[in-house]
């Protein structure tokens, strides 16, 4: 019985290490993608900004107009 429990714990430990390694690989991949995205987003040139609005409301319209005004002024 003890040998069986030890076997189960050992297998679980190996599975946890595999999950941990795959999480590390995914984390490294995410960091690389973010870093590359930041490098290309800092490039000079014309940039495009999208603004999605799902409902019409006076306050939301004012916020949208404010964002457009600030972007047109150029910071």
State both tokens at 24: 């590390």
**Number of structural domains in the chain:** 1
Tens-digit pLDDT string for the chain (75 aa) = 566 655 665 666 656 666 677 788 888 889 888 888 877 776 677 777 788 888 888 998 999 999 889 888 875
If we measure between CA atoms, which residue out of 44, 42, 46, 51 comes closest to residue 69?
51
Residue 8 domain boundaries: 2-73
If we measure between CA atoms, which residue out of 43, 55, 51, 45 comes closest to residue 70?
51
The pTM for the full model equals 0.38
């Amino acid at each position: 019985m003890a040998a069986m429990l030890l076997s189960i714990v050992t297998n679980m430990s190996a599975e946890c290490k595999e999950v941990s390694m795959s999480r590390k690989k995914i984390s490294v991949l995410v960091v690389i993608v973010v870093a590359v995205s930041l490098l290309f987003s800092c490039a000079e040139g014309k940039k495009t900004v999208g603004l999605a609005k799902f409902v019409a409301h006076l306050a939301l319209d004012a916020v949208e107009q404010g964002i457009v005004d600030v972007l047109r002024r150029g910071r």
